[in-house]
Amino acid sequence: MSKKYITTAIDYPNAAPHMGHVLEKVLADVCARWFRLSGHDTRFQIGTDEHGVKNQRTAAKEGISPKELVDRNVPLFKDLYDKLNISYDYFVRTTDQDVHFPTVIELWKKLKDSGMLEKRNYTALYCSGCERFMTNKDLVDGKCPDHQKAPEEVTEENWFFLLSKDSKWLKKLLTDKNGYTIVPKFRQQETLSLIEQGLEDISFSRPKSSLDWGVPVPDDDNQTMYVWCDALTNYISPLGYLTDKEDKTYWDDAEVTHVIGKDIARFHALYWPSMLKNAGVKTPDKLLVHGFLTSEGQKMSKSLGNVVVPSEVIDKYGIDPLRFYLSHEVPVGRDGDFSWDRMQKMYDSKLRNDIGNLLNRVLVLVGKDGGKINVPEETEIIGDTWKKYAEKMNSFELSEALQIVCSLVSDCNAYIDKKKPWGLEIEDREKVLGVLSECLRHIGLMLLPFVPDTAEIISIQLGVSYADKLQNKGFSLEGINLWGSDKSWCAAGKPEILFEDLEK
Ligand SMILES: [Zn+2]
């Protein structure tokens, strides 16, 4: 059983979570659940990035301390993810002085010892929205494109991380077959072209006078660490890395995948592996870069008033329909769009009509014959669906994998229409319904990473033997995803409507 460790970016809690946060967590959760189902010992971590000037300023505006601000806002994130059934194993907070700080401080010391940190005087443009220095290349009409304002010119003493020294090594790491794989491929090309353009050293600290809310730089009382060494280190600090609590199980011995948004791809593709290598730590294996979510075809922004609030979608449709939408409508790596109209259409067609009706039609007919389940050898409909599905899941093509499940559902609906089991002799009818019930059992398993509660309800209604264990972290597909492999399954449960008609 090989080990997997999957992480998301840590969220910046200076405002409530939005759909972009949800998209990333659902995506990573689908992967984590798939890893566990396919038999991997998996660790899944999410968390919050709580330091920095933005939180310091937001807190000051509200007349509270930064700590009070984050303590108030972090539960907004955690509660939403719990509600969304995000099956994380650990929630890291970068203000955790016991869990997070020791590794951050040790990592800094290692980098200093390796000669990769240097103190310099620095004058540059700084965007407080992005919390980073910007070059003219980053600006559009003299303004930060993300925050629509001109950056401030700042001169100060900073510690610098000498990233430029690692250009060659990074190029090799990102192109080596056993190096650091970026998914999708075009993001790898983007990163390589950044290296071609020449990497600049990065400002790694700020004077305490301008940034106080952060991890103090060891042996330099006047400096606070910048976001990089603090935030990126969240992936290893809960493992106790570089401290006497060190447990390398889910780092050195695991395949490590970081799931992040395209806006922070270069920090994860370049800064982070270089930091690790210079501290003598193994580099991660995979970087899965997702796109952004637009709203009705437009960039989501407060000024446009088109921000989709996750809880509004959940209140109207429920958890699983939202998870289904994000998995189905947003191809991994590309930008996606949220539209209320498409949400409604998807709910009605894919969930209510296709999946919901299939389950109900089959179970009502099975019930009329006494509820007995008898799975025949006939595997014509399912064919090599599992193989195709697993290939897509393993290469992070989640939306394609979900479409494969939807095709199986359509094939089953076509089969029932063609065979018209209600008009058949009992023996033939039992055979047709046995095929359909078994297909539904597999559909439930394939849907499990995407819509875990729905998968569980399908399995309960079918009456399969393992329905109550389905959402346990130790549950795996081994032995149950072959045709007819649930030997103790002999009777169907009670059919109930899976997705209500919301128009009624
Ligand atoms: Zn900015």
Q: How much distance in Å is there from the Cα of 129 to the middle of ligand 1?
A: 4
Q: How much distance in Å is there from the Cα of 194 to the middle of ligand 1?
A: 19
Q: How much distance in Å is there from the Cα of 127 to the middle of ligand 1?
A: 5
357 and 278 within one domain: no
Q: How much distance in Å is there from the Cα of 124 to the middle of ligand 1?
A: 14
pLDDT at residue 488 greater than cutoff 90: yes
**Strands 132-134, 298-299: parallel, antiparallel or unpaired by DSSP?**
unpaired
pLDDT at residue 164 greater than cutoff 80: yes
The mean pLDDT of the chain is 95
pLDDT at residue 305 greater than cutoff 90: no
Among 11-20, 64-73, 458-467, which is the least confidently predicted range?
11-20
Structural domain boundaries enclosing 68? 3-291
Residue 478 maps to a domain: no
pLDDT of residue 304: 83
pLDDT at residue 1 greater than cutoff 70: no
Residue 475 maps to a domain: no
Residue 494 maps to a domain: no
Residue 314 maps to a domain: no
- pLDDT tier at 504 (50, 70, 90 boundaries)? confident
Average pLDDT over residues 483-496: 96
Total structural domains within the chain: 2
Q: How much distance in Å is there from the Cα of 138 to the middle of ligand 1?
A: 9
Instruction: Report how far apart, in Å, the C-alpha atoms of 1 and of each of 34, 40, 436 are.
Output: 14, 5, 33
pTM of the model: 0.94
Average pLDDT over residues 141-150: 90
Residue 221 maps to a domain: yes
Handedness of CA 242, 13, 131, 163 (dihedral sign): positive
Answer whether the bond into residue 218 is a cis peptide, omega within 30°.
no
- Please name the residue that has the structure tokens 């996606």: 336
344 and 275 within one domain: no
pLDDT of residue 126: 86
Average pLDDT over residues 311-315: 96
Instruction: Kindly report the CATH number assigned to the domain that includes residue 401.
Output: 1.10.730.10
Among 155-159, 281-285, 346-350, which is the least confidently predicted range?
155-159
Residue 441 maps to a domain: yes
170 and 72 within one domain: yes
pLDDT of residue 128: 83
Express each pLDDT in 208-228 by its tens digit. 988 899 999 999 999 999 999
Point out which residues pair with 155 in neighbouring strands.
123
Supply the residues annotated as catalytic.
Answer: 18, 21, 127, 130, 144, 147, 299, 302
344 and 287 within one domain: no
- The span from the CA of 11 to the CA of 24, in Å, is 10
pLDDT at residue 130 greater than cutoff 80: no
86 and 231 within one domain: yes
141 and 43 within one domain: yes
Average pLDDT over residues 181-195: 97
Instruction: Kindly report the CATH number assigned to the domain that includes residue 58.
Output: 3.40.50.620
pLDDT at residue 431 greater than cutoff 90: yes
Closest CA to 450 of 360, 315, 321, 350: 321
Q: Is 502 helix (H, G, I), strand (E, B) or coil?
A: coil
Residue 504 maps to a domain: no
